[in-house]
Structures are given as structure tokens and as C-alpha cells.
Structure 1
Amino acid sequence: MKGSNILNTNRLKTLMSYDVMDTHPEVIYDEITSLAASICNTPASIISLVDDKRQFFKSHFGVEINGTPLKDSFCKHLIIDDIDTLVVEDMHKDKRFSNYSMVKNDPNVGFYAGASLTTENGKRLGTLCVLDYEPRQINETQIESLKTLAKQVVQLFELRKSKKTEEDQKLDLERKGKLLDNIVNATGIGIWERNLNEDLLTLNDQALEIYGLNRASLSEFNTDNWFDLIHEEDLPEVKKNMLACFTYPSVGCSVQYRMQQKDGSYKWLQEIGKVLQWSDDKKPQLMYGTVQDITEKKNYTKELQRIKNNQDAMINSSRDLMWSIDLDFNLITANTAFHDLVEKIQGHPFKEGDPVFSDTTPKQIRDKWKAYYQRALTSGRFSVKQKIQNPKKFWTTYGLTSFDLMYNKEGETAGITCFSKDITSEVLSQQVLISAKEEMQKIMDTSLDIICTIDQEGYFLSVNQASKAIWGYDPKDIIGTNYIELVHEDDKPSTKNSAANASSGKKVFNFENRYIHKNGHVVPMLWSSNWDEKEGVYYCIAKDNTEKKKAELELENSERRFKTLVQESNDIISIIDIEGNFTYVSPSTMKILGAAPEKYIGTNAFDYIHINDVQRVREIFNSIIDIDSIEIDSFRLRDINGEWKWFENIITNQLNEPSINGVVVTTRDITEKKKAEEQLENSERRYKTLVQEGSDMICIVDENAVFSYASPTCTKILEITPEEFVGRNAFDFVHPDDYNSVYNEFIKILDIPQVNIKPFRFRHGAGHWVWLETAITNKIDEPTIKGIVVNSKDVTTKVQHLKAIEEQNAQLKKIAWTQSHIVRAPVARLMGLIDLLRDDKEKLKSEEREQVLNYIITSADEIDHVIKDIVENTINAIEIEDIK
């Protein structure tokens, strides 16, 4: 598949092996790109290496970039198409490259020629290419030169790789040498070389330290000096081994001996050596070996033997049974207690190697123990508890036998080790303990508080059933959980600090924190805990603190309310004795009376009451002795400025309450209330005057125009009482001819706040019709009204005047129209006669002129008569309207 060459794993691995990607520029490669550009006569040349994502320019002559993404690579095509050379004379016309960024944009490459950088194993790494910014051609000689230079680049890569391999090998040898030195030093082994011809000894630093020598004296140290330092008891063995080592052919020798140190003490050494060089006559010449300080090992062996002896003594002194058997169930070894028991049962002890099952052993017992041994061989370690009842002695004993596999030094199973002990006292103790625990658990589970134990790391060891009720967790769910996981995040630091105090020996009482309930809500807790150093356990009791917290919150809220009521209240709360003297006054006096509470303490309350009110207030106050509480209505009290304010009191008898021992007085400033009452009274008086004595009729109707209220003025205006209106529909009184127009206006009030209704006829109580002008206002949402307010005014006289004026105007229009036609004829005739005379120019005869003048006079008289008729008719019309 095309493109797969680019991603070929072997190709990429070969490219990476040269370790050339992303390396710095090097002169030798820059010289090659410069030479290539010169040979091909191009401005640019590049050594390009292509991996699976991009191309890297190892050298770039005439180009200022270090590489491009794979999608913009020209050189990748030689790898994809698996070709040695690629020449593109015009990049802009080649469909493969015309849309490439370096072709379309700067630097606008127009020509490309590349030779593949191919390794000996045929893997293509990239190209040596030349570029031009104009289309062009190159000849075969230039292409061959380009291929030759490309081979040179690959040879340089190979040289670079070989050089790096050589350097890596050198470094590896140095590293291994250092590692070997470190290993030798770490093992504590010294290395020596002995020249037997010249009796000279060569030691490394470790050997010098082991022998206790220094390098300066080493040149004079010979075999005799060495023998002098060896312990006399060990010298014969050393010499014997040395002579054996010098016998050809040598197989090497090993010897342990004690060597004296400068301080006179002895050090145990172990030497291993071998002759590695012999003379022609089989004489030893050069010997190599190692030396090791084994003093600690020797001491350890002695100590180990001592411990083994002690262990044998301890094992044989134990009353518990210990024994081991091989795979054929033969006894390997056993302690004294085991042998004693066997001898007691069968009359003689087992010997090592004897079968542990004899013919005298009952079959039931033999089968049981064989089953135990087989189980151990099959499954490995296990223990079995046995109950032994002795009917003759009426008691029961208990034994615990443990079985385990025994291995040889090769790690193979060699037998079974057995251990048996009498656990009767332990079982009885456990039974008592279990019984006690059960009783204790019953007591714990009846507790409403949580009782628990926690280990040093903070994990629950035990907890009673109260955890279910308080935290929502069953004890089995919480045991093994770290307590801090249940603690509220904000309380974790203080809880850890409390635990630290407990573990330091301090007893913790009434420590408060919050736990998270299983369902997520917060549970306030109150803890007491004690640390038992010997047991390494916290013993804890925890109470659900929810109710206490609620009580504290209620108390806090109560105190806050008290402060708000007493200190921030608009009322004055005070305590006075039976004589009326102040013993406590709340801070609100400053706000209400302008004086601090201290001004009133010790003074008499009646000294501040208005002279006209004091007698009444005192009489009411004195009655508090016989009753629990009493109210004193409005009275006047003087403030700090001498002004009188209105107050009312509630006084409560607390003379028998030890914490108060007085009369509690709550005093409220009602000055503004008094002013409001006066204003309301004046307002009601004005309203009564306006409504009851006014000239307008005020009514309230619902959405269906049914009366719910009518002012007393309706009697004066319509001779209909308010009671006659209530419950009636207003349209029952509207003239039929005006009904529709009034109704259409009325229903508009449901959508807009106010509507004015033009005059319409309304039936009078006497039966005739009167004209009303009305304004209606929507107050349906007003709680004190809940209806439509109707203001009506009698405009009958006004309507009659307007109608008379309208009729008069109509009459005048009629007269004017009629008379204008009567006047127009003689006027027209008169004007024609005048024009005749003006234009005559002495053509008319005298009698004709006289006749024209008579016509003019006649026309003038006619006009005069017409005007007189108009005036008379107009006067008659006005008089007639007035009469109406």
C-alpha cells in the first residue's frame, strides 16, 4: 500500500539507529549541501530525513527552516514510491506538489531534484535534494553527481554510527570495570598475588585492610613474616594446605586461620588460592587468590551453636510435645516430653527411625493420625483442636496440635513437624472470656450511646449497636474502618488533635465534633475517650449531641430574640418595684425618650407622667398586687426634652420571681398612633361632610352594576333612600333610549382605571327623568372598597339650557337661510339698475332715466321691508325659546 513505506517499522528503526534526528548543524554536511547546490547551479540544497510525522533538515543551504510537517514534504515521495531519484522541473504544474505550502507560498519553490539516502540494507532515510524558485532542468551528469553525494551522506551516517558504537562500548567497559570494583569492594573480599620466585606479595586495598598491613611495608613482607603472624594452633594446617597447593597440577586450596593484628588481637581469615603459572620443570612461579575476614562468621557459628544448645534445652524442658517424622511416618526426632508420653502409653519410648504407628495402636487412633499426616503432606500447615474426656476422672481436657511441612536444603519436602500443647486452661479462659464478652456486648448493645474501641492507627476494633441508630451503620460495617473517614471535613484537624491529646495521657471529656451519617446528613457528637498504653487501644463513649445542639441553638436564638426585643425594640421594657421605682430600664429609652437607661434607675416612674394622667395610672398600677397582668391605656410621659409623648403600658406581676423580684412594664410609644387617630377622625369628619352634605351622589356597585352602597345625598337628589338602592341594578333606573350607550361606557371600566359617562336620563323617585353626569372609578382590587365607585351629578338644568340653545341656533340658521334668498333678489335688481345708469353715457331718455330711478327706490324699499321682517322673526324666535 502506498505510504506504508513511510511507517515501516524497520525503516524507522534504522533511521533512529544513526541518532541524527534533531542534532545540531555540522560543517561536513553543510559542505555537501553547498557542493550539491554548486554542481546543480541552484540557490538551495537540503539533506532531509523523514520519520513518521515530519522531515528534519540535517543541513539546509539557502533555506532558513529546520524542517516541515510530513504533509509538506517533497522528499517523502521517493520513500513512498521506492525510487532512487525524483526530478520535478515545474512544481506549479505538477498535481502532486502544486498545492504544497512551499510551492503556493513563500519561498515559492518551482524546481525540485532529489536523490534517495539509501542504506546498505535498502532502507530509505530521506534525500539529498536541490531547489530552485523558477522552473528549470538539470542534466544527467548533475543527477549522477547528486546520487554520488547522497551515498557520501549515508557513509557519513555509518561512520557516525560506528564511532558512537565504539564510544558506547568504551563507556560500557569502563562502567563494567567500575561495577566489578564496586562488587569486589562490596563483598569485602581482598585479592592477592604472590610471586613465588622472589617471595613478593601484591595486595589490593581491600586485602591490605584485611591483613592489617600498609602499602609502604608491603615490599619487605615475605612468607616468613606471614607465618609469624599466624596463630600457632593454625600454622600447621596452613603450611599443609600450602604444600598441597604447590604440587603440580594444582587444583587450588582453601584454609581458615587466625592472624594476629597490631593490637595483639586475632582475626579469622579464609584464603582461597591457586598456582596459575609454572616453570618448565613444574615449579610454582605465580599464585593468585582471595582473602576474606570471617571473624564475624566464626563468632556467629559459635553463637549459633550456643543458641542451638540452649534451644535444645528449652525444647526438652517444655511440657509441650514436639516431634518430626519422615515421609514414611518414621520418627526423625522428638523432645523429652514426647518420649515420656509414648513410654507412658506403650511402655517404651520411640527410637529415631522407628515407625510412629505400632501394631498395638488402636486402628481408630492410627487412622485418625494418618489422616492428619496425609493432610499436612497434601495441604501444608494446619492445626487441629482436640477435646479429650476422661469418664473415670470426670474431667475434660483440650489439646492443640499443629502440623507443618519440613524441607531439606534443596527445598524438597523431607517430612512433617508436629507440635502439641495442652490448651485446657486457655480454652476454659476463652470460654469465660467469651461469656463475659457476650454479657458485656449485651450491656453495650442496650446503651443508647456509642461504645467503641479504636486502635492506634484510628481503626474501629469494636462498636456497639448504637452505631446503627446514630450513624446508620451496622457494627459489622464499621469495624475495620478508620474513624477519621466518618468525621466532617471541617472537624478532622481538631479530632486528630484530640486523639493526640488522649494518646499522650490526657483524658478527653465532652469533645465535640460532627460525624457524617450513612445517608449524608450531619450528626453532632459528644466524645469522652481514654488511651490504654498497655493495650494500645482508645476506649471511647460518644453521645448523639443533636438535641443538645438544638437546645443550644434555641437558647442562642432565644437570647438573640431577647436582645432584639429588649435592646433593639421600639418598646421600653423596665422593671419597677411596688413603689414605682425603676430597677431596670432597657436601652431603647435612648431612642424613644432621648435619655440613657442609667438616668432612670432609682427614680420613680410616676414623676415622668403628665399631671392629668398620673392619678389614673397610679390607681391601675396599684391593682397589680392582686392580679397577674393589667393594661394601662394611653397616657402622657415626658421625654428628655420636656415634650409630652403618648404611651400605653402592659404590666406583669413578677414580684415572686426571684430572678426579677418586681413588676415588668412594657411601655409603647403611641404618639404617632394618637396623631393618626386625630387625623383619621378629622378625615372622617371631612368625608362625612363631603359625602352626606355634598351635591354629588356617591355610590359603589359591583361588576354587574348592582348597588352595595349609596350616599345619603341620593335622597336629596333623587328622592330615593340609600336602602332602596342597595341590591338593585343601576340599569333598572336608566332611560331605555340611553341604556345601550351607558352600558357600553360602563363595561370599559373593567379594563381601564376610570371612565367618564356623558349625561344620560335616570328615573327620579317621583317618576320623571333627570339628567345625570357620571364618573366611574375601578376600585375592585382595593380591599376597603372592593367595587366600582360611581360619582353622579344632577345636570338636568344644564342639559335643558344646552338643548334650548341648540334649538335657537337651528331656528336662526333657518331664518338666515330663508331671508338670505328673499334679500338676494331685490339687491341683485338694485345693483343691475345702478350699473345701467353708470354705463348709460347719456343714451337713456329722461323719462327712461326717471323710470329707472323709481325702480331703484322701489327696490330699496323692498329691501328695507325684508330687513324689518328678518329682525321681527329673529326677536320672535328668541322670545319663544325664552318662553320654553
Structure 2
Amino acid sequence: MDEQKRLRTLKDYQILDTPQDQYLDELTHIASAICDTKIALISLVARDRQWFKSVQGLKVKETSRESSFCQYAIPEPYKTLVVNDSMLDDRFKENPLVTGDPNIRFYAGAPLTTPDGDVLGTLCVLDDKPQALSPTKEKALGILAKKAMKYMADQKLLNEQRKHIKNSAEKLKKLTNKAPGIIFQFEMDAAGNSYFPFISEGVKELHPTINSEDLKNSINPVFELIYEEDLDYVKKKIEEAFLQKSMMDFAYRVKGDDDRIIWHQCKTSDPEILKNGVCIWYGVIYDITIEKEYKALLKQILFDISHVIRRPVSTMLGLTDLIESENLDEETLRTYAESFKVISKELDDFTRELNQSYRDKSPYHEGN
């Protein structure tokens, strides 16, 4: 038996010094009743002590390992240790638990064996009178020990899963809080009550004046920041998504500093619908102001090209038609050439001015 491995396994179960457990208490109570003993324990053998996870008939919660009976069950993982009369056993007749309180004379301990064969302790019964343990009772004690071990193994697995879920949740929270924009869970019921059970830290960047805790009760703090001209539109889109049980995808304006127009885009998945009619959407809100400004800039460029450049281009095309349709002398050609030169310079000057103007205005320009 590898004692260091066994101790590591015991530590991994995280059961030492934990609160009383009703299920395990019921097992020790049954064991005491079946074997007709005053004492029944679930004893876990640590490095220097034995600690009782469940206790029937004793006031103490632990003793030294040196005085424990259970330590002798560790080398044999699949065999119940039975001591019919401790006064006749050289291992125990001088034991302080035999010569003094609680005056143990009878002991039977079924090992608590892990799937890997490590013995964490025993489910044991004890009495102050010598007695024998029938094969039926010994088998019953072994069954109860296996049930206790399975329960502790299940609890270990649950604890590991809870820890994994907690760690995963913390990682997810960190990721969502670092993600650009807002990641949210939004709910709405049939009465029209709507709120955000979860909203990421991005809300502080997009809406610095909002207390995210307030959003857990109502969406109204967000409504208060939306342009009045867009508010009815936003409410209508949310109501439609609720009635149609559909996703959301809409843009709207919010109030920024210095009267600057800020555009936000809201996108969600299709809703999850609960039995009580509540709809749950998971989605994002992000700032699309730059995209909006860029599209407006492109529209202005197209307008300028269409209205400003069209005139000199039309003039040049007219001159070209004249040249092709007439027999021109040298002086006339020289005049037309001068006109081409003037028009070309006008186009060049306009193009340079246009380029500089939109470089300054562009939301993607490095200077901005």
C-alpha cells in the first residue's frame, strides 16, 4: 500500500473536517442497528489522526491515528477487519481506547475503498462487550461501506464539477467583460416587463452614466438615453420580436457628449421561450458610429463627384465633339488646347481639395 498516494487521495476527496452529512449518518445508524452495537462510525484515517465524518454513540470527533483500530484495515482494501475481543488481541489490549473510555472490546470495520484501491478509512461498529459478527452482518456492513464510499465519490465528482463550472463561469465573465461593446441576456414577459439579468462590463464604456444593477430590474435606464425620435422605433422592434418570437437586429441613436450623434446596433439570437411565456434573448450591442459616418462620407463623395466634376467633364466632352466635327486651323486648335489645359487644372485642383477634405473628415484617418 502506497501511503503517500493514499493520503493524497484522501485530500482530493476534500471531506476531512467537513460538516455532518444526513445520508452518512443514516448509514451509521443502520450499521449500529444491524450489528447491535452502541457505537458506529465513518472513520477517515489521516496522517496523524482518525477523524469521524459520522458518529453514533461517541461524543468525540477524532482520536490519534496511533490509537485507532481502523489503521489496521488499510492494508486489506477488500476485507472487513473484525476484533471479537480486544483484550485477547495483542494489537489492542494496551490501547487507551480499550483500557479507558470508551472501553472498546468489540470492533468490526469494513474498508472505505476507492475505485483505485486506496482505503480512506472504514465504516465501523464498536461495543464495550465482546461479541462475534455473523457472516450475514459482516456482509451487510460491507454493503453499507460500499454505499458510503460511492456517496463520497459522487460528492467528490459534484464538487469537481462545481469547481469546473465556477472556473468556466469566471473565465467567461472575464472574456465578456473584455469584449468590445455589450454582451447581454435580455428578458421580457407578457406584461411588458423587460430587464437584463446579465449585462457585461462593456455597458460602462457605451453608457458611462448607467448603473448596471438598475438594468437587472428594468430596461428604462437605456430608454432614457435613446434619441426621442428613435425611441418609439426601438420599443416597436422589441415588441415585434416578443410577439413574433424572433431575433432582433436594429440600429438607433443615443445621446452623447457635446450633442454628438452616436449610433448603436443591437443584435440577438432567436429567443428562448419559457413555459410562463417569458422570452430570453442573448445578444450584443455595439457602437456603429464610425460605420455610419463613413457611409455618410461616401455618400457625400458621390454627390460631389456627380455634381462638381460633371461640369468640367461635360465641357471636355463638348470640346472633343467640336474637334471631331470641324476642320480646325492651328489657331483654333491652340485655343481649344488652352481650354483643355484650364479644365484639366480645374479638375486637378478639385481632386486634390476633395482628397484632403475627406482625409480630414474620414473616421478611419490616422489623424482622428
In the TM superposition, what whole-angstrom CA distance separates every residue of 1:526-552 from its partner, at most 9, and x where no partner exists?
A: xxxxxxxxxxxxxxxxxxxxxxxxxxx
- CA–CA separation in structure 2 for the residues paired with 1:291 and 1:142: 73
Name the SS for the 1:71 alignment partner: coil
Residue 59 of structure 2 is matched in structure 1 by: 64
Residue 205 of structure 1 is matched in structure 2 by: 203
- CA–CA separation in structure 1 for the residues paired with 2:154 and 2:62: 24
Structure 2 counterparts to residues 640-651 of structure 1, below 5 A: none
2:16 is aligned with 1:21:
yes
Structure 2 counterparts to residues 724-763 of structure 1, below 5 A: none
Which ranges in structure 2 are unaligned for 5 or more consecutive residues?
Answer: 185-195, 211-220, 235-253, 271-282, 291-368
- CA–CA separation in structure 1 for the residues paired with 2:228 and 2:21: 55
Matched residue type, 2:37:
T
Structure 2 counterparts to residues 722-801 of structure 1, below 5 A: none
Higher-RCO chain (CA-CA 8 Å, sequence separation at least 6): 2
2:39 is aligned with 1:44:
yes
CA positional deviation for 1:168: 2.7
CA positional deviation for 1:105: 1.9
- CA–CA separation in structure 2 for the residues paired with 1:192 and 1:21: 41
- Aligned CA distance change for structure 1 residues 143 and 45 (closer, same or farther; 3 Å): same
2:85 is aligned with 1:90:
yes
2:17 is aligned with 1:8:
no
- Aligned CA distance change for structure 1 residues 127 and 272 (closer, same or farther; 3 Å): same
- Aligned CA distance change for structure 1 residues 141 and 208 (closer, same or farther; 3 Å): same
In the TM superposition, what whole-angstrom CA distance separates every residue of 1:576-625 from its partner, at most 9, and x where no partner exists?
A: xxxxxxxxxxxxxxxxxxxxxxxxxxxxxxxxxxxxxxxxxxxxxxxxxx
| Maintained 8 Å contact 1:127/1:150 | yes
CA positional deviation for 1:64: 1.8
| Maintained 8 Å contact 2:176/2:183 | no
- CA–CA separation in structure 1 for the residues paired with 2:151 and 2:46: 19
Matched residue type, 1:205:
V
CA positional deviation for 1:19: 1.7
| Maintained 8 Å contact 1:274/1:288 | yes
Residue 230 of structure 2 is matched in structure 1 by: 221
CA positional deviation for 1:153: 0.6
- CA–CA separation in structure 2 for the residues paired with 1:115 and 1:192: 54
- Aligned CA distance change for structure 1 residues 275 and 113 (closer, same or farther; 3 Å): closer
Matched residue type, 1:111:
F
In the TM superposition, what whole-angstrom CA distance separates every residue of 1:183-238 from its partner, at most 9, and x where no partner exists?
A: 34xxxx42489xxxxxxxx997357438x99524369639x99xxxxxxxxxxxxx
Residue 74 of structure 2 is matched in structure 1 by: 79
Name the SS for the 1:15 alignment partner: helix
Matched residue type, 1:77:
Y
- CA–CA separation in structure 2 for the residues paired with 1:293 and 1:15: 58
Structure 2 counterparts to residues 110-509 of structure 1, below 5 A: 110-184=105-179, 189-191=180-182, 205-206=203-204, 208-209=206-207, 214-216=222-224, 217=226, 221=230, 261=256, 263-264=258-259, 290-291=286-287
| Maintained 8 Å contact 2:77/2:118 | no
Which ranges in structure 1 are unaligned for 5 or more consecutive residues?
Answer: 194-201, 226-258, 278-286, 295-884
- CA–CA separation in structure 1 for the residues paired with 2:255 and 2:110: 79
| Maintained 8 Å contact 1:192/1:207 | no
- CA–CA separation in structure 2 for the residues paired with 1:276 and 1:65: 58
Paired residues in the alignment total 232
- CA–CA separation in structure 1 for the residues paired with 2:101 and 2:91: 18
CA positional deviation for 1:39: 0.7
Name the SS for the 2:137 alignment partner: helix
- Aligned CA distance change for structure 1 residues 56 and 218 (closer, same or farther; 3 Å): farther
| Maintained 8 Å contact 1:190/1:292 | no
List 4+ stretches of structure 1 deviating above 6 A: 271-277
| Maintained 8 Å contact 1:47/1:57 | yes
CA positional deviation for 1:146: 0.1
CA positional deviation for 1:107: 2.0
Q: Residue 104 of structure 2: which of 98, 101, 109 is its match?
A: 109
Question: What is the TM-score when the length of structure 2 is the normalising length?
Answer: 0.53
- CA–CA separation in structure 2 for the residues paired with 1:100 and 1:93: 12
- Aligned CA distance change for structure 1 residues 192 and 12 (closer, same or farther; 3 Å): closer
Matched residue type, 2:113:
T
CA positional deviation for 1:118: 0.8
- Aligned CA distance change for structure 1 residues 288 and 34 (closer, same or farther; 3 Å): closer
In the TM superposition, what whole-angstrom CA distance separates every residue of 1:558-586 from its partner, at most 9, and x where no partner exists?
A: xxxxxxxxxxxxxxxxxxxxxxxxxxxxx
CA positional deviation for 1:275: 12
- CA–CA separation in structure 2 for the residues paired with 1:144 and 1:62: 22
- CA–CA separation in structure 1 for the residues paired with 2:267 and 2:160: 38
In the TM superposition, what whole-angstrom CA distance separates every residue of 1:427-482 from its partner, at most 9, and x where no partner exists?
A: xxxxxxxxxxxxxxxxxxxxxxxxxxxxxxxxxxxxxxxxxxxxxxxxxxxxxxxx
Query: More strand per residue: 1 or 2?
Result: 1
CA positional deviation for 1:65: 1.5
How high is the sequence identity, in percent, across the aligned residues?
Answer: 33
Name the SS for the 1:92 alignment partner: helix
- Aligned CA distance change for structure 1 residues 105 and 174 (closer, same or farther; 3 Å): same
Higher alpha-carbon deviation: 14-23 or 140-149: 14-23
In the TM superposition, what whole-angstrom CA distance separates every residue of 1:357-397 from its partner, at most 9, and x where no partner exists?
A: xxxxxxxxxxxxxxxxxxxxxxxxxxxxxxxxxxxxxxxxx
- Aligned CA distance change for structure 1 residues 292 and 103 (closer, same or farther; 3 Å): farther
| Maintained 8 Å contact 1:48/1:126 | yes
| Maintained 8 Å contact 1:190/1:206 | no
CA positional deviation for 1:274: 11
Name the SS for the 1:29 alignment partner: helix
- Aligned CA distance change for structure 1 residues 143 and 219 (closer, same or farther; 3 Å): farther
- Aligned CA distance change for structure 1 residues 159 and 49 (closer, same or farther; 3 Å): same
